Amino acid sequence: MLIVQKYGGSSVATPERIKRVAGRVAEGYKAGNKMVVVVSAMGDTTDDLINLMKEITNNPPEREVDMLLSTGEQVSIALLAMAINDLGCNTVSLTGGQAGVKTNRVYSKAKIIDIDTKRIENELDKGNVVVVAGFQGVNENEITTLGRGGSDTSAVALAVALKADLCEIYTDVDGVYTADPRVVPEARKLKAVSHDEMLELASLGAKVLHPRSVELAKLYNMPIVVRSSFDFNSMGTVVQEVSEMEKDLIISGVTHDDNVARIGLYDVPDKPGIAYSVFRALANKNIDVDMIIQSAVRNNVNDISFTITRDDLRKALAVVEEIQREVGFSRYAHDEDVSKVSIIGSGMVSNPGVAATMFEALAEEGINIEMITTSEIKVSCVVKADQAVKAVKAIHKKFELDAV
Ligand code: ADP
Ligand code: ASP
Ligand code: MG
Protein backbone atom coordinates (compact mmCIF):
# COMPACT_ATOMS: atom_id res chain seq x y z
CA MET A 1 0.00 0.00 0.00
CA LEU A 2 1.00 3.60 -0.50
CA ILE A 3 0.20 5.49 2.68
CA VAL A 4 0.27 9.26 3.19
CA GLN A 5 0.41 10.28 6.85
CA LYS A 6 0.35 13.82 8.17
CA TYR A 7 1.47 14.83 11.65
CA GLY A 8 0.42 18.25 13.00
CA GLY A 9 2.42 20.70 15.08
CA SER A 10 1.53 19.36 18.51
CA SER A 11 2.31 15.81 17.33
CA VAL A 12 5.94 16.80 16.67
CA ALA A 13 6.26 19.48 19.37
CA THR A 14 9.13 17.81 21.28
CA PRO A 15 12.04 15.46 20.49
CA GLU A 16 10.21 12.65 22.34
CA ARG A 17 7.11 13.13 20.21
CA ILE A 18 9.16 13.21 17.01
CA LYS A 19 10.68 9.87 18.03
CA ARG A 20 7.23 8.44 18.73
CA VAL A 21 6.03 9.58 15.32
CA ALA A 22 9.13 8.03 13.75
CA GLY A 23 8.19 4.76 15.46
CA ARG A 24 4.72 4.85 13.95
CA VAL A 25 6.12 5.61 10.50
CA ALA A 26 8.70 2.82 10.80
CA GLU A 27 5.94 0.36 11.69
CA GLY A 28 4.15 1.13 8.43
CA TYR A 29 7.40 0.95 6.46
CA LYS A 30 8.50 -2.35 7.98
CA ALA A 31 5.07 -3.81 7.21
CA GLY A 32 5.97 -3.32 3.55
CA ASN A 33 4.15 -0.09 2.75
CA LYS A 34 5.41 2.86 0.77
CA MET A 35 5.33 5.76 3.22
CA VAL A 36 5.00 9.49 2.47
CA VAL A 37 4.92 11.56 5.65
CA VAL A 38 3.90 15.22 5.74
CA VAL A 39 4.80 17.24 8.82
CA SER A 40 3.97 20.65 10.26
CA ALA A 41 6.33 22.90 12.16
CA MET A 42 7.06 21.87 15.76
CA GLY A 43 4.48 23.08 18.29
CA ASP A 44 3.87 26.83 18.14
CA THR A 45 6.82 27.51 15.86
CA THR A 46 4.74 29.25 13.19
CA ASP A 47 3.15 31.56 15.79
CA ASP A 48 6.60 32.28 17.24
CA LEU A 49 7.91 33.19 13.79
CA ILE A 50 4.96 35.55 13.26
CA ASN A 51 5.62 37.22 16.60
CA LEU A 52 9.29 37.57 15.76
CA MET A 53 8.33 39.20 12.49
CA LYS A 54 6.06 41.66 14.30
CA GLU A 55 9.02 42.76 16.39
CA ILE A 56 10.73 43.79 13.17
CA THR A 57 7.86 45.35 11.25
CA ASN A 58 4.12 45.71 10.79
CA ASN A 59 4.54 45.96 7.09
CA PRO A 60 6.58 43.00 5.82
CA PRO A 61 6.95 42.30 2.08
CA GLU A 62 4.65 39.34 1.31
CA ARG A 63 7.45 37.31 -0.23
CA GLU A 64 9.57 37.57 2.91
CA VAL A 65 6.68 36.44 5.12
CA ASP A 66 6.53 33.14 3.26
CA MET A 67 10.31 32.86 3.23
CA LEU A 68 10.21 33.14 7.03
CA LEU A 69 7.18 30.97 7.80
CA SER A 70 8.31 28.10 5.58
CA THR A 71 11.38 27.58 7.77
CA GLY A 72 9.39 25.95 10.60
CA GLU A 73 8.54 22.90 8.53
CA GLN A 74 12.11 22.59 7.32
CA VAL A 75 13.26 22.01 10.88
CA SER A 76 10.70 19.30 11.56
CA ILE A 77 11.26 17.32 8.33
CA ALA A 78 14.99 17.11 8.97
CA LEU A 79 14.55 16.03 12.60
CA LEU A 80 11.89 13.47 11.73
CA ALA A 81 14.03 12.02 8.93
CA MET A 82 16.92 11.66 11.40
CA ALA A 83 14.66 9.89 13.90
CA ILE A 84 13.34 7.55 11.20
CA ASN A 85 16.87 6.84 10.03
CA ASP A 86 17.83 5.87 13.59
CA LEU A 87 15.16 3.18 13.47
CA GLY A 88 16.88 1.53 10.56
CA CYS A 89 14.69 2.81 7.73
CA ASN A 90 16.02 4.49 4.62
CA THR A 91 14.59 7.97 4.45
CA VAL A 92 14.88 11.38 2.81
CA SER A 93 13.31 14.71 3.70
CA LEU A 94 12.07 17.07 0.99
CA THR A 95 10.93 20.69 1.03
CA GLY A 96 7.66 21.46 -0.74
CA GLY A 97 9.59 22.59 -3.79
CA GLN A 98 11.80 19.47 -3.86
CA ALA A 99 8.65 17.35 -3.54
CA GLY A 100 7.25 19.01 -6.68
CA VAL A 101 4.47 21.04 -5.02
CA LYS A 102 3.69 23.87 -7.44
CA THR A 103 1.45 26.74 -6.38
CA ASN A 104 0.19 30.05 -7.67
CA ARG A 105 1.96 33.15 -6.37
CA VAL A 106 -0.59 34.41 -3.85
CA TYR A 107 1.82 34.61 -0.92
CA SER A 108 0.43 33.39 2.43
CA LYS A 109 -2.66 31.92 0.73
CA ALA A 110 -1.10 30.05 -2.17
CA LYS A 111 -3.12 27.34 -3.88
CA ILE A 112 -1.56 24.13 -5.16
CA ILE A 113 -1.92 24.04 -8.92
CA ASP A 114 0.05 20.89 -9.68
CA ILE A 115 2.29 18.30 -8.08
CA ASP A 116 5.11 16.83 -10.10
CA THR A 117 5.45 13.47 -8.34
CA LYS A 118 8.59 12.27 -10.17
CA ARG A 119 11.02 12.96 -7.33
CA ILE A 120 8.82 11.38 -4.65
CA GLU A 121 8.13 8.31 -6.78
CA ASN A 122 11.80 7.98 -7.49
CA GLU A 123 12.62 8.08 -3.76
CA LEU A 124 9.86 5.59 -2.96
CA ASP A 125 11.21 3.24 -5.62
CA LYS A 126 14.63 3.47 -3.98
CA GLY A 127 12.99 2.24 -0.77
CA ASN A 128 12.99 5.54 1.07
CA VAL A 129 10.43 6.85 3.52
CA VAL A 130 9.73 10.30 2.06
CA VAL A 131 9.24 13.08 4.61
CA VAL A 132 7.70 16.20 3.05
CA ALA A 133 7.40 19.71 4.50
CA GLY A 134 3.74 20.63 4.77
CA PHE A 135 2.26 24.11 4.29
CA GLN A 136 4.69 25.11 1.52
CA GLY A 137 5.22 24.97 -2.20
CA VAL A 138 6.94 26.94 -4.89
CA ASN A 139 5.92 29.26 -7.69
CA GLU A 140 8.73 29.05 -10.20
CA ASN A 141 11.63 29.53 -7.82
CA GLU A 142 9.79 31.42 -5.10
CA ILE A 143 8.74 29.78 -1.84
CA THR A 144 5.04 30.13 -1.04
CA THR A 145 2.88 29.03 1.91
CA LEU A 146 -0.67 27.73 1.80
CA GLY A 147 -2.32 29.56 4.71
CA ARG A 148 -2.51 28.65 8.39
CA GLY A 149 -3.27 25.00 8.92
CA GLY A 150 -2.25 24.28 5.32
CA SER A 151 -0.25 21.12 6.03
CA ASP A 152 -3.49 19.14 5.88
CA THR A 153 -3.92 20.39 2.33
CA SER A 154 -0.34 19.40 1.45
CA ALA A 155 -1.09 15.88 2.68
CA VAL A 156 -4.37 15.42 0.84
CA ALA A 157 -2.95 16.94 -2.36
CA LEU A 158 -0.02 14.48 -2.21
CA ALA A 159 -2.39 11.59 -1.50
CA VAL A 160 -4.45 12.53 -4.55
CA ALA A 161 -1.44 13.08 -6.81
CA LEU A 162 0.22 9.81 -5.75
CA LYS A 163 -3.09 7.90 -5.83
CA ALA A 164 -2.46 6.80 -2.26
CA ASP A 165 -4.42 3.92 -0.78
CA LEU A 166 -4.76 5.66 2.57
CA CYS A 167 -4.51 9.25 3.82
CA GLU A 168 -4.22 9.58 7.58
CA ILE A 169 -4.20 12.90 9.44
CA TYR A 170 -2.69 12.45 12.90
CA THR A 171 -3.48 15.21 15.38
CA ASP A 172 -3.90 15.98 19.07
CA VAL A 173 -7.54 14.82 19.28
CA ASP A 174 -8.67 11.34 18.31
CA GLY A 175 -11.13 12.36 15.61
CA VAL A 176 -13.77 14.84 14.53
CA TYR A 177 -16.24 15.72 17.29
CA THR A 178 -19.71 17.24 17.39
CA ALA A 179 -17.97 20.39 18.74
CA ASP A 180 -14.42 21.33 19.69
CA PRO A 181 -13.82 18.94 22.60
CA ARG A 182 -11.75 21.63 24.31
CA VAL A 183 -14.76 23.94 24.34
CA VAL A 184 -17.52 21.38 24.91
CA PRO A 185 -16.20 18.49 27.01
CA GLU A 186 -19.44 16.55 26.37
CA ALA A 187 -18.83 16.59 22.61
CA ARG A 188 -19.04 13.18 20.99
CA LYS A 189 -16.69 11.67 18.44
CA LEU A 190 -18.19 11.04 15.00
CA LYS A 191 -17.30 7.65 13.54
CA ALA A 192 -17.81 8.98 10.06
CA VAL A 193 -18.71 12.26 8.43
CA SER A 194 -19.41 13.11 4.79
CA HIS A 195 -17.09 15.30 2.75
CA ASP A 196 -19.84 17.93 2.46
CA GLU A 197 -20.43 18.13 6.19
CA MET A 198 -16.72 18.10 6.94
CA LEU A 199 -16.18 20.89 4.44
CA GLU A 200 -18.73 23.05 6.27
CA LEU A 201 -17.38 22.08 9.70
CA ALA A 202 -13.85 22.98 8.63
CA SER A 203 -14.85 26.18 6.83
CA LEU A 204 -16.89 27.32 9.81
CA GLY A 205 -14.16 26.96 12.40
CA ALA A 206 -13.52 23.30 13.30
CA LYS A 207 -9.82 23.74 12.63
CA VAL A 208 -9.11 20.00 12.96
CA LEU A 209 -8.88 19.95 9.12
CA HIS A 210 -7.89 22.77 6.78
CA PRO A 211 -10.98 23.53 4.63
CA ARG A 212 -9.06 23.25 1.37
CA SER A 213 -7.86 19.77 2.29
CA VAL A 214 -11.49 18.67 2.51
CA GLU A 215 -12.35 20.45 -0.72
CA LEU A 216 -9.62 18.46 -2.48
CA ALA A 217 -10.64 15.21 -0.82
CA LYS A 218 -14.21 15.74 -1.98
CA LEU A 219 -13.22 16.71 -5.50
CA TYR A 220 -11.06 13.59 -5.95
CA ASN A 221 -13.15 11.33 -3.73
CA MET A 222 -10.24 10.63 -1.39
CA PRO A 223 -11.25 9.29 2.03
CA ILE A 224 -9.38 10.83 4.98
CA VAL A 225 -8.91 9.26 8.39
CA VAL A 226 -8.49 11.75 11.25
CA ARG A 227 -6.85 10.12 14.25
CA SER A 228 -4.76 10.64 17.35
CA SER A 229 -0.98 10.82 17.34
CA PHE A 230 -1.03 10.15 21.09
CA ASP A 231 -3.19 7.04 21.03
CA PHE A 232 -2.49 4.88 17.98
CA ASN A 233 -5.16 2.38 19.07
CA SER A 234 -8.02 4.83 18.72
CA MET A 235 -9.84 4.39 15.40
CA GLY A 236 -10.53 8.04 14.64
CA THR A 237 -13.06 9.50 12.23
CA VAL A 238 -13.45 8.62 8.57
CA VAL A 239 -14.27 11.48 6.24
CA GLN A 240 -15.77 9.90 3.15
CA GLU A 241 -18.34 10.26 0.43
CA VAL A 242 -21.41 8.96 2.21
CA SER A 243 -21.56 8.52 5.90
CA GLU A 244 -23.99 5.74 6.67
CA MET A 245 -23.20 5.90 10.37
CA GLU A 246 -24.44 9.36 11.11
CA LYS A 247 -27.30 9.55 8.68
CA ASP A 248 -29.91 9.91 11.42
CA LEU A 249 -28.26 12.99 12.86
CA ILE A 250 -30.00 16.24 11.98
CA ILE A 251 -27.00 18.21 13.19
CA SER A 252 -23.52 16.72 13.06
CA GLY A 253 -21.67 19.60 14.65
CA VAL A 254 -21.51 23.05 16.19
CA THR A 255 -18.58 25.36 15.48
CA HIS A 256 -17.40 28.83 16.22
CA ASP A 257 -14.89 30.94 14.39
CA ASP A 258 -13.20 33.89 16.08
CA ASN A 259 -11.25 34.91 13.03
CA VAL A 260 -14.09 37.18 11.95
CA ALA A 261 -14.54 40.92 11.64
CA ARG A 262 -17.57 42.88 10.48
CA ILE A 263 -17.51 46.00 8.32
CA GLY A 264 -20.56 48.23 7.85
CA LEU A 265 -21.01 50.77 5.05
CA TYR A 266 -23.70 53.36 5.77
CA ASP A 267 -25.94 55.42 3.46
CA VAL A 268 -24.86 53.57 0.34
CA PRO A 269 -26.65 54.91 -2.79
CA ASP A 270 -29.34 52.45 -3.95
CA LYS A 271 -28.43 51.99 -7.60
CA PRO A 272 -27.10 49.22 -9.85
CA GLY A 273 -23.38 48.47 -9.78
CA ILE A 274 -22.71 49.47 -6.17
CA ALA A 275 -22.31 45.97 -4.72
CA TYR A 276 -20.18 45.16 -7.73
CA SER A 277 -17.78 48.06 -7.09
CA VAL A 278 -17.40 47.25 -3.41
CA PHE A 279 -16.90 43.52 -3.64
CA ARG A 280 -14.82 43.57 -6.81
CA ALA A 281 -12.39 45.96 -5.11
CA LEU A 282 -12.10 43.56 -2.14
CA ALA A 283 -11.71 40.53 -4.40
CA ASN A 284 -8.94 42.27 -6.32
CA LYS A 285 -6.97 42.31 -3.07
CA ASN A 286 -7.68 38.59 -2.45
CA ILE A 287 -9.95 39.36 0.49
CA ASP A 288 -12.59 36.70 1.02
CA VAL A 289 -15.97 38.08 1.97
CA ASP A 290 -18.23 35.75 3.87
CA MET A 291 -21.65 37.02 4.99
CA ILE A 292 -23.25 40.00 3.25
CA ILE A 293 -26.37 41.78 4.45
CA GLN A 294 -28.04 44.74 2.77
CA SER A 295 -30.69 46.67 4.67
CA ALA A 296 -34.01 47.90 3.28
CA VAL A 297 -33.89 51.08 1.21
CA ARG A 298 -34.72 54.40 2.88
CA ASN A 299 -34.49 57.71 0.98
CA ASN A 300 -32.60 56.03 -1.86
CA VAL A 301 -29.83 54.75 0.41
CA ASN A 302 -29.25 51.55 2.39
CA ASP A 303 -26.59 49.99 4.59
CA ILE A 304 -24.35 47.07 3.65
CA SER A 305 -22.64 44.92 6.29
CA PHE A 306 -20.25 42.11 5.54
CA THR A 307 -17.82 39.87 7.32
CA ILE A 308 -14.24 38.96 6.44
CA THR A 309 -11.51 37.10 8.27
CA ARG A 310 -10.02 39.26 11.02
CA ASP A 311 -6.56 38.71 9.54
CA ASP A 312 -7.68 40.68 6.48
CA LEU A 313 -9.22 43.59 8.41
CA ARG A 314 -6.45 46.12 7.85
CA LYS A 315 -6.28 45.33 4.15
CA ALA A 316 -10.08 45.52 3.84
CA LEU A 317 -10.34 48.86 5.64
CA ALA A 318 -7.73 50.28 3.29
CA VAL A 319 -9.87 49.18 0.32
CA VAL A 320 -13.04 50.65 1.87
CA GLU A 321 -11.30 53.94 2.50
CA GLU A 322 -10.08 54.00 -1.07
CA ILE A 323 -13.49 53.40 -2.68
CA GLN A 324 -15.57 55.55 -0.32
CA ARG A 325 -15.75 58.62 -2.57
CA GLU A 326 -16.32 56.74 -5.78
CA VAL A 327 -19.06 54.50 -4.32
CA GLY A 328 -20.50 57.36 -2.30
CA PHE A 329 -21.37 55.96 1.14
CA SER A 330 -21.39 58.50 3.97
CA ARG A 331 -19.35 56.56 6.55
CA TYR A 332 -18.10 53.11 7.53
CA ALA A 333 -17.38 51.25 10.75
CA HIS A 334 -15.85 47.95 11.80
CA ASP A 335 -16.20 45.52 14.69
CA GLU A 336 -13.49 43.02 15.59
CA ASP A 337 -15.27 41.76 18.69
CA VAL A 338 -17.48 39.30 16.87
CA SER A 339 -17.50 35.58 16.34
CA LYS A 340 -19.46 33.31 14.06
CA VAL A 341 -21.36 30.39 15.56
CA SER A 342 -22.67 27.72 13.19
CA ILE A 343 -24.56 24.45 13.09
CA ILE A 344 -23.87 21.94 10.34
CA GLY A 345 -25.79 18.88 9.23
CA SER A 346 -27.12 17.34 6.04
CA GLY A 347 -30.23 16.24 7.96
CA MET A 348 -31.34 19.87 8.11
CA VAL A 349 -32.77 19.89 4.61
CA SER A 350 -35.60 17.56 5.56
CA ASN A 351 -36.19 18.85 9.09
CA PRO A 352 -37.99 22.19 9.37
CA GLY A 353 -37.43 24.26 12.49
CA VAL A 354 -33.71 23.56 12.87
CA ALA A 355 -32.77 27.23 12.59
CA ALA A 356 -35.54 28.16 15.00
CA THR A 357 -34.19 25.70 17.55
CA MET A 358 -30.75 27.29 17.25
CA PHE A 359 -32.20 30.77 17.75
CA GLU A 360 -34.18 29.48 20.73
CA ALA A 361 -30.97 28.22 22.38
CA LEU A 362 -29.38 31.65 21.88
CA ALA A 363 -32.47 33.50 23.11
CA GLU A 364 -32.56 31.42 26.30
CA GLU A 365 -29.01 32.53 27.03
CA GLY A 366 -29.82 36.16 26.25
CA ILE A 367 -27.38 36.18 23.33
CA ASN A 368 -28.08 38.75 20.65
CA ILE A 369 -27.73 37.71 16.98
CA GLU A 370 -26.12 40.36 14.77
CA MET A 371 -26.19 38.59 11.41
CA ILE A 372 -27.60 35.30 10.09
CA THR A 373 -26.91 33.22 7.00
CA THR A 374 -28.22 29.81 6.04
CA SER A 375 -27.64 27.17 3.40
CA GLU A 376 -29.09 23.70 2.93
CA ILE A 377 -26.73 22.20 5.46
CA LYS A 378 -25.75 25.04 7.77
CA VAL A 379 -26.97 28.02 9.77
CA SER A 380 -24.48 30.68 10.94
CA CYS A 381 -25.00 33.55 13.39
CA VAL A 382 -22.63 36.39 14.19
CA VAL A 383 -22.60 37.14 17.93
CA LYS A 384 -20.36 39.15 20.27
CA ALA A 385 -17.02 37.35 20.57
CA ASP A 386 -17.20 36.93 24.34
CA GLN A 387 -20.50 35.05 24.02
CA ALA A 388 -19.36 32.53 21.40
CA VAL A 389 -18.35 29.74 23.77
CA LYS A 390 -21.55 30.10 25.78
CA ALA A 391 -23.49 29.97 22.50
CA VAL A 392 -21.74 26.80 21.29
CA LYS A 393 -22.40 25.04 24.60
CA ALA A 394 -26.06 26.06 24.66
CA ILE A 395 -26.67 24.97 21.08
CA HIS A 396 -24.84 21.67 21.56
CA LYS A 397 -27.07 20.95 24.55
CA LYS A 398 -30.28 22.09 22.84
CA PHE A 399 -29.76 19.62 20.00
CA GLU A 400 -28.84 16.92 22.52
CA LEU A 401 -25.62 16.19 20.65
CA ASP A 402 -24.04 14.79 23.82
CA ALA A 403 -26.80 12.23 24.21
CA VAL A 404 -26.61 10.33 20.91
P1 ADP B 1 -2.68 20.01 14.09
O2 ADP B 1 -1.57 20.79 14.69
O3 ADP B 1 -2.53 18.54 14.31
O4 ADP B 1 -2.95 20.36 12.67
P5 ADP B 1 -4.90 21.66 14.92
O6 ADP B 1 -4.69 22.42 16.18
O7 ADP B 1 -4.79 22.37 13.64
O8 ADP B 1 -3.96 20.38 14.95
O9 ADP B 1 -6.35 20.96 14.96
C10 ADP B 1 -6.72 20.13 16.04
C11 ADP B 1 -7.57 20.92 17.01
O12 ADP B 1 -8.83 21.21 16.41
C13 ADP B 1 -7.96 20.16 18.26
O14 ADP B 1 -6.98 20.30 19.26
C15 ADP B 1 -9.30 20.77 18.66
O16 ADP B 1 -9.19 21.64 19.76
C17 ADP B 1 -9.70 21.58 17.43
N18 ADP B 1 -11.09 21.33 17.02
C19 ADP B 1 -12.00 22.31 16.74
N20 ADP B 1 -13.18 21.77 16.42
C21 ADP B 1 -13.04 20.44 16.46
C22 ADP B 1 -13.92 19.34 16.23
N23 ADP B 1 -15.20 19.54 15.85
N24 ADP B 1 -13.45 18.08 16.37
C25 ADP B 1 -12.17 17.88 16.74
N26 ADP B 1 -11.28 18.87 16.98
C27 ADP B 1 -11.70 20.14 16.85
N1 ASP C 1 2.72 25.29 10.54
C2 ASP C 1 1.60 25.85 9.82
C3 ASP C 1 0.66 26.56 10.79
O4 ASP C 1 0.90 26.58 11.98
C5 ASP C 1 0.88 24.84 8.98
C6 ASP C 1 0.15 23.74 9.74
O7 ASP C 1 0.40 23.55 10.93
O8 ASP C 1 -0.66 23.06 9.12
O9 ASP C 1 -0.32 27.12 10.36
MG1 MG D 1 -3.98 21.95 11.74
pLDDT at 250: 85
pLDDT tens across 291-314, in order? Answer: 999 999 999 999 999 999 999 999
- Mean pLDDT confidence for 320-333: 96
pLDDT value of residue 254: 98
Q: How many CA atoms lie within 13 A of 262 on its CB side?
A: 21
**For 71-108, how does the pLDDT look when each residue is reduced to its tens digit (9 = 90+)?**
999 999 999 999 999 999 999 999 999 999 999 999 99
Q: Strands, E, within 55-118: which ranges?
A: 91-94, 101-103, 112-115
- Domains, the chain: 2-243 (3.40.1160.10), 247-399 (3.30.2130.10)
Q: Whose CA is nearest to atom 27 of ligand 1?
A: 180
Q: Give residue-wise pLDDT tens across range 359-388.
A: 999 999 999 999 999 988 999 999 999 999
* Ligand 2 pocket test, candidate residues 52, 151, 153, most atoms within 8 A of CB: 151
Strand order through the sheet with 301-308: 289-294, 301-308, 261-269, 331-335
**Average pLDDT for 210-238:** 96
**CA 153 to ligand 3 centroid distance, Å:** 10
Q: Determine if ligand 1 sits within 6 Å of the CB of residue 155.
A: no
Q: Would you say residue 248 has pLDDT above 80?
A: no
Q: Determine contact, residues 238/189, Cβ cutoff 8 Å.
A: no
Coil, strand or helix: which one is 308? Answer: strand
DSSP string, 232-256: TTS--EEEES--STTTT-S--EEEE
β-pair type (301-308, 289-294): antiparallel
CA of 172 to the centre of ligand 3 (A): 9
Task: Give pTM, 2 decimals.
Answer: 0.92
Tens of pLDDT, residues 36-49: 999 999 999 999 99
Is pLDDT of 352 > 90? no
Are the C-beta atoms of 371 and 382 separated by less than 8 Å? yes
